[in-house]
Structure 1
Amino acid sequence: MKSTVEQVSPTRVKINVEVPFDELKPNFERAYRKIAQQVRIPGFRPGKAPARVLESRIGRAPVLDEVVNEVIPAKYLEAVRADDLRTLGQPEFEVTKLEDREVLEFTAEVDIRPEITLPDFSDFTVSVDDVELTEAEVDEQLDELRARFGTLSGVDRPAENGDFVSIDLSASVDGKEVEEASTTGLSYEIGSGQLVDGIDDAIIGANAGETKTFTTKLVAGEFTGEDADVSVTVQTVKARELPEPDDEFAQLASEFDTLEELKGDLRERLGRVKKMQQGVQARDQILEALLERTEVPIPEKVLEGEIENRKHDAIHQFDHDEAAFAQALEAEGKTLEQFDTEVREESEKAVRTQLLLDTIADAEKTSVNDGELTERIIYQAQRFGISPDEYVQRAQQSGQLTAIYADVRRGKALAAVVRRATVTDASGAEVDLDELFGTDEAAEATETAAVETPSGELEETQVTDEAAKSADK
């Protein structure tokens, strides 16, 4: 086999492959065996008809098709490995010459990882917020802890913000009932913002047994973006009673004996969170600076795929009803043109980010060990509210384990850049990045917090027979 590579653009190549028929003997043998199993020929058991008999019965063309479909993906991958190409996405095949018993020639155009010149990481300087901790924030954390141990009691008064109510809901649009917006016995915390706009204003001040009406714009379902008349009946009103913040509560809610010890622990935890936030700020600013200073050519086919994925995900929420999707955008004050522009900008940034971080990871020789991969799996499983085993099973079924590994590797690569940068707080004091990155919490914050990357992984192509069948024969 002979292969040459033509650079079509900084992000795309054309691979020219020439395969003499002398190399295809094993492929022909497999093709004959496969076809013989599918063709019934009198006097021969299935799979036992000789090649010359098969060709006399069905012709040479089906055999050649079978061989070409098998050979092209295999020889393509062989050429990719020989030239050490970092391919992205699926190639576009074209058979340029097929002389039976002589030679097969084909081309494959495919996107590749572009060459990226990285800046000097030690030149980066960013400023993050000061770590400021107030007693009001500590008290807020204490109140949240008290709420976990609170009890609900019925009250004989109008509903107030923060109360828990049991409500019945019904809605209609132009007199037509909206079934998905109707329910009974729904428990709701006033002020939580978990239901439609306008419901809190309607409920506050209502007594048990009282019905209120209001108008709101629906954000999902058949009538997305349309005004609906909503009726809400308050069945019960309950207030949450919080335990007194004293030593007895500290002993109930924690391992501490006194309230002051509990507040001291909350204060320390809040301080760690704010330091982690400094790390996240530094990471985000340095990533933006990297993207500004580095030229990252974007493979057009990869960008098109990312745009398509994002649009598909957006409209999928509306059962692919384009009219309903357009109404939802209108409710947000957006047009389809604005949405398309935003998606393209986000996609371009996501593709550039991933290509850049992959290049940094290669330059830094970044690797991921089993413990780091397990930590990410546990983190992701907690986000989705499932067990790590179930998350791994789903990832295996969807082929996403490689993507998880790649994300961890990119996070580590970016963290390595942050460590080399100069980071100061708003007061001008240098932030101790070794201290930030030395704790598990900080590492998780800076390495696993979301970095905008493509929804589809940019990994080396795995060519299938289906891809080969798209070749222009």
Structure 2
Amino acid sequence: MKSAVETLNPTRVRLTVEVPFEELKDSLDAAYKKINQQVTVKGFRKGKIPARVIDQRFGRGAVLEEAVNEALPKFYTEAVNEAELNVLGQPEVDITELKDGETLNFTAEVDVRPSLEIPDYSGIEVEVDAVEVTDEDVEKSVNELRDRFASTSPVERPAVEGDVVTIDLEAKVDGEVLEDGVASGVSYTIGSGELLDGIDEAVTGLEAGGEATFTTGLEAGGEATFTSELKGGSAEGKESEVTVKVTQVAARELPELDDDFAQLASEFDTLDEVKADSRKRLENMKQYDQATQAQERVLDKLLELVEVPVPEKLLEDEVGTRKHNLEHHQLGQMGLDLEGYLKIQGKTVEEFEAETKEQAVKGIKTQFVLDELVNKEKLNVSQEELTEHLMRRAASSGMSPDQFAQAVVEGGQVPMLVGEVARGKALAVVVEAATVKDTNGEVVDLSDEDESAESATADESAESAEAAEAEAEAKNES
């Protein structure tokens, strides 16, 4: 077999392959055997029909077609390996010449990974937010904890903001009560914004037994928020007249912020210890966010340094996969379609298309660059690192580690996970070499940060369409 490579552009090549006819012998034998098992000829036992009879009855052309279809993948793979190509996706094959007993010639156009030059990245400098926890931040955290331990007690007075009211609801459209527009015994905190638009004004000032009627637009994704009974119901997209009746008004009572509260709400004995713990937790969260921000900004700087051509077909597939995963997995779980999602986001279809393409381009470039860095830095992935990464991916998919691991193995996606871990390590190398300063001008040392932050950031930035689709398939298989 002879083969030659023609570079069409930085991301696409054409292979020209010439195969001597004698190399088709095994495939021809297999073709005759397959046809033998599929046809019946009077006078011959099944599977024992001579080749000349098959040629006479069914045509030599049918045998050649079967043999060539069986042999092409093998010859294509040999040509790819001989040329040391890193191909992407499926090739477009064209048989240019097939002469019985003489030769088989074909061409194969296929996308390839572009050749990249990674420049010196040690000069990268980025600025990130400083880690600052104020007394106000601590007070807010403690008050949020305090809110979770609030109690309620019924009162005989008009309802005010912050009260918890028990209400009955009845929604009408065009004067008719909706089948799914009636709800009783609903608990609602005035001012929380968790029910219908306009309900706060309607119930404020009412006492138990009071009743009010108001009109609201029940547009999915608009400012009005559905109760669980009404969400996505028959009134979706229509304006409804809602009658609300208050059956009870209860005042929320917050516990005193003292040492007794500390012992009730935490493992600590004093309020000062609770505040100190809150400050420490907030600092850890901000440090994690700072590390993530540093990695994202270093990655952006790195991508600016490298010229990365993007294969058109790969980009098309990536965009399609991102749309598919959004519509059929993420939005489906939220009970939304694409139209409703865009309405909530305040985006046009054109803006969504442009944003999706931009994200896809960045994802492809990131994977190409980080993979090149993996090779350049000779980075390897240990079994321990792979296991830790699998545990994180399992948690994000909502599956148990065993379930996720089984789905990954059965789907042949282990190399994909190894690639994700390796890319995370490559990004960590660049971050370590970069200069990171906070908004106060102080150099930030990220060496002591949790390595999972680095890996998680790299996974999110570098996840290709293949990885996203694989995770979706793993969920489906479970």
Asked whether the two chains share a fold, i.e. TM above 0.5, the reply is: yes
In 1, Cα distance between equivalents of 2:409 and 2:354: 34
Deviation of 1:165 after TM superposition, in Å, equals 6.0
In structure 1, the partner of 2:275 is 263
Deviation of 1:279 after TM superposition, in Å, equals 1.0
Closer/same/farther in 2, CA of residues 76 and 228 from structure 1, 3 Å limit: farther
In structure 2, the partner of 1:213 is 214
Aligned to 2:432, the other structure's residue is in SS state helix
> Are the equivalent residues in 1 in contact too, given 2:165–2:248 (CA < 8 A)?
yes
Matched, 1:404 2:404: no
Please list, as runs of the form range in 1=range in 2, the aligned pairs for 1:151-166 lying within 5 A after superposition. Answer: none
1:163-217 residue CA offsets vs partner (Å, 9 max, x unmatched): 6666666767778998888766666666666666666666666666645534333
In structure 2, the partner of 1:443 is 451
Closer/same/farther in 2, CA of residues 75 and 420 from structure 1, 3 Å limit: same
In structure 2, the partner of 1:33 is 33
In 2, Cα distance between equivalents of 1:392 and 1:158: 57
- Greater relative contact order (Cα 8 A, min sep 6): structure 1 or 2? 1
Deviation of 1:405 after TM superposition, in Å, equals 3.0
Matched, 1:386 2:399: yes
In structure 2, the partner of 1:309 is 321
Identity %: 47
Closer/same/farther in 2, CA of residues 248 and 303 from structure 1, 3 Å limit: same
Matched, 1:112 2:121: no
**2:242 maps to amino acid:** S
1:389-426 residue CA offsets vs partner (Å, 9 max, x unmatched): 23334445655444333222222211110000011112
The more displaced of 403-412 and 167-176 is 167-176
Matched, 1:71 2:82: no
Among 324, 336, 348, which residue is 1:335 paired with?
A: 348
In 2, Cα distance between equivalents of 1:355 and 1:297: 10
In 2, Cα distance between equivalents of 1:94 and 1:22: 20
In structure 1, the partner of 2:286 is 274
Deviation of 1:256 after TM superposition, in Å, equals 3.2
In 1, Cα distance between equivalents of 2:69 and 2:248: 69
Q: What are the ranges of 5 or more consecutive residues in structure 1 without an aligned counterpart?
A: 437-441, 460-473
1:51-100 residue CA offsets vs partner (Å, 9 max, x unmatched): 33332322222221221111111221222122221111111111111111
**2:4 maps to amino acid:** T
1:275-309 residue CA offsets vs partner (Å, 9 max, x unmatched): 22221111111111112222111111111112222
TM-score normalised by structure 1 residue count:
0.81
Deviation of 1:146 after TM superposition, in Å, equals 4.2
Please list, as runs of the form range in 1=range in 2, the aligned pairs for 1:225-236 lying within 5 A after superposition. Answer: 226=237, 228-229=239-240, 231=242, 233=244
Aligned to 1:132, the other structure's residue is in SS state coil
Aligned to 1:46, the other structure's residue is in SS state coil
Closer/same/farther in 2, CA of residues 169 and 257 from structure 1, 3 Å limit: same
Q: What are the ranges of 5 or more consecutive residues in structure 2 without an aligned counterpart?
A: 222-230, 469-478
In 2, Cα distance between equivalents of 1:342 and 1:4: 39
> Are the equivalent residues in 2 in contact too, given 1:172–1:178 (CA < 8 A)?
yes
**1:38 maps to amino acid:** Q
Closer/same/farther in 2, CA of residues 275 and 314 from structure 1, 3 Å limit: closer
**2:288 maps to amino acid:** M
**1:434 maps to amino acid:** S
Please list, as runs of the form range in 1=range in 2, the aligned pairs for 1:88-237 lying within 5 A after superposition. Answer: 88-149=88-149, 210=211, 212-216=213-217, 217-219=219-221, 226=237, 228-229=239-240, 231=242, 233=244
In 2, Cα distance between equivalents of 1:93 and 1:265: 64
Deviation of 1:243 after TM superposition, in Å, equals 4.6
> Are the equivalent residues in 2 in contact too, given 1:171–1:230 (CA < 8 A)?
yes
In 2, Cα distance between equivalents of 1:410 and 1:397: 23
Among 441, 445, 451, which residue is 1:428 paired with?
A: 441
Deviation of 1:33 after TM superposition, in Å, equals 1.9
Matched, 1:291 2:303: yes
In 1, Cα distance between equivalents of 2:57 and 2:296: 67
Deviation of 1:332 after TM superposition, in Å, equals 4.9
In 1, Cα distance between equivalents of 2:370 and 2:342: 33
In structure 2, the partner of 1:465 is none
